[in-house]
Amino acid sequence: MIESDIFKALADPTRYVIFEKLAAGRMNASALRDGMAISQPAMSQHLAVLRNAGLVREERQGRFVNYEVDPKGLALIARWLTKYRAYWPSRVDALKTLLKDMDQ
Amino acid sequence: MIESDIFKALADPTRYVIFEKLAAGRMNASALRDGMAISQPAMSQHLAVLRNAGLVREERQGRFVNYEVDPKGLALIARWLTKYRAYWPSRVDALKTLLKDMDQ
DNA sequence: ACAACACATAAGCATAAACTTATGTGACGT
DNA sequence: ACGTCACATAAGTTTATGCTTATGTGTTGT
C-alpha cells in the first residue's frame, strides 16, 4: 500500500463520490448504489480498490457487507502532507488544524 | 480544478516522483529529467498535468522554465483532509501508532 | 541572420483502467 | 431443500492515459 495507490483510488470521480458517501456514514454496497448510475459489479470493484488502498474497510453482516471509512488511508495522506510542510501557507486554518493533530 | 484532479495528478508514479523532486527545491524541466528514464515531451506533459492540478507552478527565466511546488494544491488537500477529521483517531498517540504500524 | 537550445504541442500508438454481461458464493426466508 | 438476495469474481470490450516521434515556439549566443 503505497501513497500513489491511495491517490489512484481517489483519482476516479466515481470512487471519490463513493468515498464521500461513506464519510457521511457506514453503508452497505446496495445502499451506496442508490442515486448512482452504476452497476452492481462496478460498485463491488470500486469498493475493492478503495479497500486495497486502506481508505475503506468492510464488515460482513449476514448477507450484507457494511463499508466504512478506514482511518488508515486518511492518516497516510496526512503524514504525506506533513512532508511538504515547508510549502504550506502559514495562514491557512486547515493546515493549522492538521498540524495540531499530527504534532504533539 | 477539482479535488479528484489533484489526486489524479499524484496517482501516476512518475508524476509522484517529479513532485517529490520539486519539493526538494525549484528546478527546470531538464534538471528534473536527470536520472529519470523519461523523454522531454513526457516530462513536459507531466508538468502540465501537475500545473493544471495546482500542485506546481512555473516561472519562465529566459529559455528555461523553473518549476516549483505550488502551495495551492497542498492547501486544497489539507482542506479536503479536515473534512474527514471525524475519522481520525481521537487520541493523537493513536494516530502515531497507526502511522508507525503502516511503515512495514 | 542563423544555429543551437529549452520547452510545448500534435498526432498516433500501446497499455491500463473502468465498464459490461455472465456466473459463482454464501446467507436468508419459506 | 429451494429460490432469492447481497455481493464477489471472471472474461471480454471500450475508453482513458501515458508514451512515442515529429514539429512548433520562443530564447540565446555567435
Dist CA B56 CA B70 (whole Å): 4
- Give the CA-to-C1' distance from A60 to C28 in angstroms: 14
**How far away is chain B from the Cα of A49, in angstroms, using its nearest Cα?**
13
Over residues A28-63, the pLDDT tens digits come to: 999 999 999 999 999 999 999 999 999 999 999 999
Dist CA A90 CA A96 (whole Å): 8
A99 reaches B (C-beta below 8 A): no
Residues of chain B with pLDDT under 50: 104
Cell numbers representing residue B83 in the block: 473534512
- DSSP class of residue B12 equals S
Query: Residue B94, CB half-sphere, CA atoms under 13 Å: how many?
Result: 7
Strand partners, B56: B69
Over residues A59-91, the pLDDT tens digits come to: 999 999 999 999 999 989 988 988 898 888 766
Q: Give strand C nucleotides closer than 7 A to any protein Cβ.
A: 5-11, 17-22, 26-28
**Residue A12 binned pLDDT confidence (cut-offs 50, 70, 90):** very high
Which chain B residue lies closest to A23 (C-alpha atoms)? B84
**What per-residue confidence (pLDDT) applies to B100?**
59
Dist CA B15 CA B46 (whole Å): 6
Domains of chain B: 3-101 (1.10.10.10)
CB–CB contact A69 B88 (8 Å): no
